């Protein structure tokens, strides 16, 4: 049982973690940069420690955060969402120092964070994915050749991308040739990797994400779905739960797929499996290896405190 936990985050999610700790009898340790000195999570936590003047740097230094966890007698660390929540290095350092990382293993974070590797894992598990390249494309010529086989429109995506960045819809050879250097540049700047791949563009799909929870003993459940189809520039604006777009059969099918996906990679903790739904077909898109911002919507319909 966890006795003392360092919260490697700030704001709403940090407050939620503090509350969960209090309810579970776990001592909470907050961290704060100078702008957050008087923030609510700092006031509510049992202990709080300063991590620097810069508003961001302290929250993005995995070794510093884990060292602080060790120094303050913590036996666990919760990354929240954003910041280092999907950073495999943080999970690795926690394992090295004997700190329980509240999330999946570093191996799973890497596998599901790499979209081409995630696709391979899902194909192996029998989870349907959108047609696309088996791996990354080496250059624009290879991308153009692959697109001819897939059929336009296609999506050019950063392999390590997320948050709506490093992604372009291309309706023709000309658009793909024009978009290729832009996506490479954006991917390199945003994610530190120039790797990209192609997928068939599913036109006007419904975007459905399934909330899953998994323990350390191979047990995995889903907490139904959230409909996040209303978006602007690939950024979610409105989340609806349960989805008004699904039949009972589709809801059960997507939930089963999400559980199968999580079990296939040995997932532990809270996570979200995202799907596209079009013309009655369901396609795996990606997995978020953390508690999502939108977890509160699922809490409203289930009464379960996911944190």
pLDDT tens digits for range 38-60: 999 999 999 999 999 999 999 99
Q: Which residues contact 299 (CB under 8 A, 6 or more apart)?
A: 305, 306
Do 165 and 265 lie in one domain? The reply is no
Tokens of 104: 């999946």
Q: Are 160 and 193 in contact (CB under 8 A)?
A: yes
96 and 114 share one domain:
no
Six token digits for residue 251: 């809801």
- pLDDT tens per residue, range 13-22: 999 999 999 9
Report pLDDT digits (tens) over 181-209.
Answer: 999 998 898 888 889 999 999 999 999 99
Task: Note the helical H segments in 25-138.
Answer: 40-44, 62-71, 88-97, 106-113, 115-125
The pLDDT of residue 97: 98
In this structure, the answer to whether residues 11 and 91 fall within a common structural domain is yes
Location of structure tokens 């658009």: 175
Q: How far is it, in rounded angstroms, from Cα 204 to Cα 241?
A: 20
* DSSP one-letter code for 99: P
| Residues 274 and 236: beta-carbon distance below 8 Å | no
Q: Is residue 219 part of a domain?
A: yes
Task: Tell whether 120 and 261 lie within a shared domain.
Answer: yes
pLDDT at residue 133, rounded to an integer:
92
The CB-based long-range contact list for 107-111 (8 Å cut-off, 24+ gap) reads 108/265, 108/266, 108/267, 108/268, 108/289, 109/289, 111/265
- C-alpha 164/C-alpha 150 separation (Å) is 22
Residues 75 and 88 in one domain: yes
Residue finishing a domain among 157, 176, 200: 200
Q: Is 59 contained in some domain?
A: yes
Domain co-membership, 237 together with 116: yes
Asked if residue 177 lies in contact with residue 139, where contact means CB atoms within 8 angstroms, the answer is no
**Which of 166, 200, 234 is at the close of a domain?**
200
Answer left, alpha or beta for residue 181, where phi above 0 means left and psi between -120 and 50 means alpha. alpha
Total Cβ atoms within 10 A of residue 172: 12
Q: What CATH number is associated with residue 21? A: 3.40.50.20
Q: Report pTM.
A: 0.90
Mean local confidence (pLDDT), 247-254: 97
- Residue 132: phi, psi to the nearest 5? -175, -170
Domain range spanning residue 176?
Answer: 140-200
Split at pLDDT 50, 70, 90, the class of 268 is very high
Tens digit of each residue's pLDDT (9 = 90 or more) over 60-111: 999 999 999 999 999 999 999 999 999 999 999 999 999 999 999 999 999 9
Question: Once rounded to an integer, what is the mean pLDDT over residues 223-242?
Answer: 94
CA distances 177 to 133, 142, 143, 168, 222, Å, are 17, 11, 9, 11, 41
pLDDT number for residue 192: 86
> Residue range 108-126: average pLDDT?
94
Last residue of a domain, one of 200, 223, 243: 200
Whether residue 53 lies inside any domain: the answer is yes
User: pLDDT tens, 281-305?
Assistant: 999 999 999 999 999 999 999 999 9
Task: Answer yes or no: do 68 and 208 share one domain.
Answer: no
Domain CATH for 223: 3.30.470.20
Total domain count, the chain: 3
Query: Do residues 200 and 155 make contact, with C-beta atoms less than 8 angstroms apart?
Result: yes
Tokens encoding 47: 């202990």
Query: Could you count the other beta carbons within 10 Å of the beta carbon of residue 220?
Result: 19
Does residue 157 belong to any structural domain of this protein?
A: yes
- 115 with 247, same domain? yes
One domain, residues 171 and 76: no
Q: How many CA atoms lie within 13 A of 169 on its CB side?
A: 9
Q: What is the mean pLDDT of the chain?
A: 95
CA-CA distance, 18 to 12, in Å (whole number)? 10
Q: Does residue 307 lie in a domain region?
A: no
CATH number at residue 144: 3.30.1490.20
Judged against a pLDDT cut of 80, whether residue 161 lies above it is answered with: no
The two structure tokens encoding residue 208: 């459905």
Residues in the chain, total: 307
Is 264 inside any structural domain? yes
Q: Could you tell me if residue 135 is inside a domain?
A: no
Asked, for residue 37, whether it belongs to a domain, the answer is: yes
Using only C-alpha atoms, the chain has a radius of gyration, in whole angstroms, of 20
116 with 250, same domain: the answer is yes
Average pLDDT of 132-142?
92
Q: Is 290 noted as a catalytic residue in this protein? A: yes
Q: Which of 10, 119, 168, 290 is catalytic?
A: 290
pLDDT at 128 over 80: yes
208 or 116, which is more confident? 208
The pLDDT, as a whole number, for residue 221 is 98
The number of beta carbons lying within 10 Å of the beta carbon of residue 136 is: 18
Same structural domain for residues 114 and 263? yes
If asked whether residues 171 and 293 sit together in one domain, one would say no
């Amino acid at each position: 049982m966890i006795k003392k936990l360092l919260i490697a985050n700030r704001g709403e999610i940090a407050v939620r973690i503090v509350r969960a700790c209090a309810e579970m009898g776990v001592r909470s340790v907050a961290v704060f940069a100078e702008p957050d000195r008087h923030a609510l999570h700092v006031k509510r936590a049992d202990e709080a420690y300063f991590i620097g003047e810069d508003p961001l740097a302290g929250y993005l230094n995995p070794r510093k955060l884990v060292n602080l966890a060790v120094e303050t007698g913590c036996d666990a660390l919760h990354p929240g969402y954003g910041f280092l929540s999907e950073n495999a290095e943080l999970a690795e350092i926690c394992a090295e120092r004997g700190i329980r990382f509240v999330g999946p293993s570093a191996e799973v974070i890497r596998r599901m964070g790499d979209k081409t590797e995630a696709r391979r894992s899902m194909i192996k598990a029998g989870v349907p994915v959108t047609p696309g390249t088996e791996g990354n494309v080496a250059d624009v010529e290879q991308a153009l050749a692959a697109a001819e086989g897939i059929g336009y429109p296609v999506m050019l995506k950063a392999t390590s991308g997320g948050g709506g960045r490093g992604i372009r819809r291309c309706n023709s050879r000309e658009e793909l040739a024009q978009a290729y250097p832009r996506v490479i540049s954006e991917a390199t700047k945003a994610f530190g990797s120039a790797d990209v791949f192609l997928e068939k563009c599913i036109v006007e799909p419904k975007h459905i994400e399934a909330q899953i929870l998994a323990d350390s003993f191979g047990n995995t459940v889903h907490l139904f779905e959230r409909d996040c189809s209303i978006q602007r520039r690939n950024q979610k604006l409105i989340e609806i739960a349960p989805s008004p777009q699904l039949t009972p059969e589709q809801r059960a099918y997507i939930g089963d797929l999400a559980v199968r996906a999580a079990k296939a990679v040995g997932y532990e903790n809270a996570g979200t499996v995202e799907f596209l739904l079009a013309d009655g077909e369901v396609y795996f898109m990606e997995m978020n290896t953390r508690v999502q911002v939108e977890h509160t919507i699922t809490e409203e319909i289930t009464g379960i405190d996911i944190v």
